[in-house]
């Protein structure tokens, strides 16, 4: 095995869609989107160490401290490992140990971020055999959110998520370092279900591409605060079925004066925090509404 590393640990951040406009369905069944995405300072940690194939001939193995996380080939970490081996011909193996801190079914990109962490780790273990452009190409085959985690943030995603570019620096500066409270109820929302609902409702929930681009450009070229950027037209289908989401977000806006939205296809939501926002009191209100097991974490935009 080449490369200067025998083991490594890679941070896999969660993401937030601050601006998400689904613009329509494509002929291939995917949806086009325009989205401003940021990573945050909360996330999973993926520990990776080299190993030889086990008795069954499997080169890769995964353990996780969250018993609800699948540890078979349906997990994106192992899918990423298989894709890396197929793309490079690398004959090595690895044991992955995942410290899971990003909830599943949340719209926070946890699985995609873990997959990209696996790609990066294996590339280091293999001695950097895959160039950044090839990493991005392989990442895109694993999921629409994956390429953004190679770039960090803030970024603008287009297409079905495979076209990623850095947000203009002046605009990015209005986002970096902002404190944010992320919270998720016990239930998740399956992304395929959300997209199917949007497609079934025709154009009712879509925002046409030109309108989405104009709305984004107005914020980027102006000087408005991050709160003025927030938008997510996937909220429509989610809120119709999961009424607990809009009810709580409205309460938080009214009681605490924060701008609260859903991230991605949900069910996680977030609120941008001001200097005087009573975060502990907000957390108490969220758990009072959604239950004591509600996931709540304060973090910052990276």
The DSSP result for 21-82, as a single string, is EEEEE-TTS-EEEEEEEEEEEEEEEEEEEE----TT---EEEEES-TTS--STTSHHHHHHH
Contact 60, 81 (CB under 8 A): yes
Cα separation of 6 and 121, whole Å?
Answer: 10
- Cβ atoms of 48 and 9 closer than 8 Å: yes
Helix (H) or strand (E) holding 147: helix 146-151
DSSP string for residues in 54-67 = -TT---EEEEES-T
Task: Tell me which residues are annotated as active site.
Answer: 15, 145
């Amino acid at each position: 095995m080449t490369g200067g590393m025998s083991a490594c640990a890679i941070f896999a951040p969660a993401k937030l869609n601050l601006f998400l406009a689904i613009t329509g369905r494509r002929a291939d069944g995917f949806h086009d989107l325009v989205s401003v995405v940021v990573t945050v300072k909360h996330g999973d940690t993926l520990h990776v160490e080299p190993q030889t194939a086990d008795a069954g001939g499997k080169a890769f193995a995964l353990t996780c401290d969250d018993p609800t996380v699948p540890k078979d080939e349906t997990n994106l970490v192992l899918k990423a490992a298989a894709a890396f081996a197929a793309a490079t011909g690398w004959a090595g193996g690895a044991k992955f140990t995942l410290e899971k801190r990003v909830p599943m079914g949340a719209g926070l990109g946890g699985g995609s971020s873990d997959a990209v962490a696996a790609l990066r780790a294996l590339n280091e273990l293999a001695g950097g055999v895959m160039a950044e452009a090839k990493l991005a190409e392989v990442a895109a085959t694993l999921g629409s959110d994956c390429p953004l985690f190679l770039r960090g943030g803030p970024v603008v995603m287009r297409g079905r998520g495979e076209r990623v570019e850095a947000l203009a620096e002046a605009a990015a500066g209005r986002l970096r370092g902002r404190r944010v409270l992320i919270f998720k109820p016990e239930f998740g929302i399956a992304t395929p279900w959300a997209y199917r609902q949007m497609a079934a409702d025709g154009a009712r929930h879509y925002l046409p591409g030109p309108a989405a681009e104009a709305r984004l450009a107005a914020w980027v070229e102006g000087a408005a605060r991050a709160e003025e950027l927030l938008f997510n037209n996937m909220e429509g289908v989610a809120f119709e079925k999961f009424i607990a989401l809009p009810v709580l977000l409205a309460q938080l806006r009214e009681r605490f004066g924060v701008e609260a939205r859903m991230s991605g296809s949900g069910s996680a939501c977030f609120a941008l925090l001001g200097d005087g926002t009573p975060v502990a009191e907000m957390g108490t209100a969220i758990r009072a509404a959604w239950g004591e097991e509600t996931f709540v974490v304060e973090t910052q935009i990276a």
